[in-house]
């Protein structure tokens, strides 16, 4: 009997099952069965003998990439304002632009450009900040759903230290969050099979009063929702948090004391550069993900996250573009940026912390960050079928390379134009 929901993609397959274990299988079949990967096979097993085969012979076949942290409303000004440091960049560029999303028509236009670009990019799953505006956030979620992308999307909460045009009162912030979640339920974003889902998003400690954090913690506990925010990105920011929250044991505790730091709720924190050892231990114990955003950390002069240390301590880690602190949503570039900054960290900061290897960084961008979204980022059996077919021949060369070298070249030289097919949870979206 023909299996209508099954098909295979044929090509040169590579995927990382662990940080030190890259699998490469030339001219093989990645089989999709009802949206899940049924495995990788040199020859199709009998039970799949009559399924459709999408022939991508000669192309590199990789899992989709997970972008663990980015800001959709910052897409339009990407690549500008790069002379500024974090706090002045937020005040002079970010907040005024994000305020424009009060206008749903503007949101429709700007988010349309963002979603179209994301659909063509290597990313299949993303954890996305929207703005404080409920209606514009729903516009973004509906667009992502139509595009076929998988995403967590957050209506941002902020009730202090931002301009009057872009600040909520505590009461408004809580009320609008509840209205947004109600609308998410009605639209099906809370259904078990929805791959676009809401995530609670206190912007960062300087933007949220204790009262707001407490209320968000209650919502997270009641509705069992995931959480995303920023943590220890920049030296001035970390100092500011100390002044704002003298009662907290540290930056991590400013979230943790309100139940916004893992264990019960899946949590991802962007940056994690200036953490104390006890805070790193807490992340590890609570299963809090670190979203390493090397390009943004360079652009905004933030610093270099101690990735080797985080990994040694068992913190779950993934990579992120942090658009538009990062100027590009190309996750191939995030892989090589992470390697490059880890070499500088080793050279300039601590020679006991080995740089990330290519396989490690590729793993972080696929299965490492993918695990925030479930079984995502690998071709092991039972993983969601997120797949890219890549024409690495677009990077011209007179040499012949093994699959692993072709993958490395693709990360250093590739861009969205290399991607010839893209699947998310078994659905072809490109």
Could you tell me the smallest distance in angstroms from the CB atom of residue 341 to Zn ion? Answer: 17
- Shortest distance, position 41 Cβ to Zn ion, whole Å: 40
- Token pair, residue 332, equals 């191939």
Strand 123-129 and strand 150-154: pairing? Answer: parallel
Comparison of 324 and 388: residue with beta carbon closer to Zn ion: 324
CB within 8 Å of 95: residues ≥ 6 apart: 162, 163, 165, 166
Q: Where are the alpha helices (DSSP H) in 30-94?
A: 86-89
Query: Closer to Zn ion at the Cβ: 270 or 388?
Result: 270
Instruction: Tell me which DSSP letter residue 149 carries.
Output: -
Using CB atoms within 10 Å of the CB of residue 6, give its burial: 0 to 12 exposed, 13 to 18 middle, 19+ buried.
middle
CA 400 to chain centre: 33
Distance CA 375, CA 94 (A): 34
Rank residues 136 and 270 by Cβ distance to Zn ion and give the closer one: 270
Distances (CA, A) of 5 to 33, 52, 66, 154, 427: 6, 10, 24, 32, 10
129/373 with CB nearer Zn ion: 129
Query: Cβ(311)–Cβ(305) under 8 Å?
Result: no
Of 158 and 270, the one with the shorter C-beta distance to Zn ion is: 270
Count CA atoms closer than 13 A to 104's CA, side-chain side.
9
Please report how close the Cβ of residue 371 comes to Zn ion at its closest, in angstroms.
Answer: 20
Nearer of residues 322 and 337 to Zn ion, judged by Cβ: 322
Q: Which of residues 318-347 bind Zn ion (CB under 5 A)?
A: 322
The smaller minimum CB distance to Zn ion, of residues 50 and 88, is found at 88
Q: State in angstroms the smallest separation of the CB of 71 from Zn ion.
A: 6
- Give, for 408, the enclosing helix (H) or strand (E): helix 403-413
CB of 230 to Zn ion, least distance (A): 5
Residue 207 Cβ, how far from Zn ion at the closest point, in Å?
A: 12
Residue 203 CB, nearest distance to Zn ion (Å)? 9
Distance from C-alpha of 374 to C-alpha of 380, rounded to nearest angstrom? 13
Compute how many residues bind Zn ion; rule: CB under 5 A: 2
Contacts to Zn ion from residues 254-273, by CB under 5 A: 270
Pattern 293-322, binding to Zn ion, x per CB under 5 A? -----------------------------x
Chain positions contacting Zn ion, by CB under 5 A: 270, 322
């Amino acid at each position: 009997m023909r299996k209508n929901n099954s098909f295979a993609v044929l090509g040169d397959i590579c995927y990382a099952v662990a940080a030190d274990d890259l699998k490469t299988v030339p001219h093989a079949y990645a089989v999709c069965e009802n949206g899940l990967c049924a495995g990788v096979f040199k020859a199709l097993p009998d039970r799949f003998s009559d399924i459709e085969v999408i022939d991508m012979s000669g192309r590199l076949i990789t899992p989709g990439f997970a972008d663990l942290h980015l800001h959709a409303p910052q897409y339009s000004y990407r690549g500008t304002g790069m002379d500024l440091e974090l706090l002045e960049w937020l005040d002079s560029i970010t907040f005024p632009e994000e305020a424009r999303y009060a206008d749903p028509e503007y949101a429709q236009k700007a988010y349309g450009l963002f979603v179209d670009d994301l659909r063509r990019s290597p990313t299949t799953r993303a954890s996305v900040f929207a703005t404080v505006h409920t209606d514009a956030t729903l516009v973004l979620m509906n667009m992502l759903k139509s595009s076929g992308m998988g995403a967590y999307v957050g209506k941002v909460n902020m009730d202090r230290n931002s301009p009057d045009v872009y600040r909520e009162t505590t009461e408004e912030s809580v009320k609008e969050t509840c209205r947004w979640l109600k609308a998410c339920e009605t639209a099906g974003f809370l259904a078990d099979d929805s791959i676009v889902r809401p995530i609670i998003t206190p912007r960062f400690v300087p933007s949220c009063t204790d009262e707001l954090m407490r209320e968000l913690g209650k919502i997270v506990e009641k509705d069992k929702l995931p959480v995303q925010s920023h943590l220890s990105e920049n030296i001035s920011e970390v100092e500011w948090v100390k002044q704002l929250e003298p009662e907290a044991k540290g930056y991590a505790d400013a979230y943790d004391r309100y139940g916004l730091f893992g264990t019960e709720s899946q949590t991802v924190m962007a940056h994690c550069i200036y953490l104390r050892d006890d805070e790193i231990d807490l992340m590890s114990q609570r299963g809090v993900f670190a979203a390493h955003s090397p390009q943004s950390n360079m652009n905004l002069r933030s610093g270099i996250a101690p990735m080797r240390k985080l990994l040694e301590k068992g913190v779950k880690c993934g990579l992120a573009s942090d658009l538009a602190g990062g100027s590009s949503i190309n996750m191939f570039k995030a892989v090589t940026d992470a390697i490059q900054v880890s070499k500088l960290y080793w050279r300039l900061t601590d020679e006991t912390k080995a740089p990330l290897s290519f396989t490690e960084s590729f793993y972080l961008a696929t299965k490492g960050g993918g695990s925030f979204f479930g079984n995502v980022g690998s071709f092991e059996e039972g993983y969601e079928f997120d797949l890219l077919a890549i024409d690495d021949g677009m990077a011209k060369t007179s040499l012949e390379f093994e699959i692993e070298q072709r993958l490395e070249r693709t990360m250093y030289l590739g861009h969205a134009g290399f991607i010839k097919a893209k699947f998310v949870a078994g659905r072809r979206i490109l």
